[in-house]
Amino acid sequence: MSPSDMTVSQLGEFGLIDALTEVLGTSELGPDSVVLVGPGDDAAVVQMSDSRMVISTDAMVENVHFKRAWSSGIDVGVRVAAANLSDIVAMGAHPTALVVALGVPSDLPVEWALDVARGMKKEADRLNVVVVGGDVVASPIISVTVTAIGAPRERIITRAGAQVGDVVAVAGRLGWAAAGLAVATRGFSSPRVLVDAHRQPVIDYDLIQSAFDHAHALCDVSDGLVADASHMAKASQVQINITTEALAIADPLRDMGLALTENPMNWILTGGDDHAFLGAFDQANVPTGWTVVGQVVAGSGVTVDGSAFIGPAGHTHFAQ
């Protein structure tokens, strides 16, 4: 069936992205293109007249990414800024500016909208990034779309550099935001440490930047470890084997798994929104603070403990 005969839910999020990319003509870039890295990575890289620019866009929509019942304006501002900043950092680049398009209902309290800006500034200030402008429009629900701009180092790090023989390592927390979402969607506000992890990610940007000189490939884990490892494996034309024994289950996740009769390892493997990072390295060059969680071998796709992962690998829009 042709994509033009399908609904977006039938095609799926990543199928839709591929189809849009083909229409836009950016799927195959010629040698004279100003686009150095196009769609398919954490951010695009564009050659300017005398420099290069790294660009990424991410959006958050009410009742899709957050609910006002458990997320404040500050929470939303922090999350959307972090989602964009982490994409720029994942390219081995330094974020410099953000622009934002804010859609709000006419009856939204002004203070809530101002809190979105406060949350964005709170996260942006961590990297000395400036919110330089944007747009405000009327909308039946809250939507926040942010574009991040950054300056690359001499070497751009993409998802496509993982090599057979590399190890894959993670920096940052996994599964905390997913566990927090599981708590919030059941109408609970505690344990606070998990709900807060969903509301506002905790990203150690210094730890990520410590990998810039050594990572062969790098990506932000925004969709889930298995899902984003799959993106890296596809881009690098390799197979990535993840070992769950290397993935520690923190006490709050273990306790909540017991309380909700859920396997906390599923949150770790498939939960996004913590914005941890996944990198491929020579085994001798894994930076301090990163945890080796698997290997790169010949082949394709991702395995978990030597077997294909059963079930959704992470978050996708339009999933049926």
User: What is the percent of the chain with per-residue pLDDT over 70, rounded to a whole number?
Assistant: 85
Tell me which residue of 47, 24, 25 sits closest to 36, measured CA to CA. 47
pLDDT of residue 57: 94
Instruction: Name all domains of the chain by residue range, CATH numbers in brackets.
Output: 1-33 (no CATH), 42-152 (3.30.1330.10), 159-308 (3.90.650.10)
Is 40 within 8 Å of 24 (Cβ atoms)?
no
Q: Which of 18-32, 98-112, 169-183, 305-319 has the highest mean pLDDT?
A: 169-183
Least trusted range by pLDDT, from 12-26, 87-101, 155-169, 229-243: 12-26
Give the number of other Cβ atoms within 10 Å of residue 232's Cβ: 25
pTM of the model: 0.83
Q: Residue written as tokens 């458990």?
A: 70
Length of the chain: 320
Return d(Cα 121, Cα 129) in angstroms, integer: 8
Tens digit of each residue's pLDDT (9 = 90 or more) over 53-73: 899 999 999 999 999 999 999
What stretch of H or E contains 16? helix 13-24
**Across residues 129-148, what is the average pLDDT?**
88
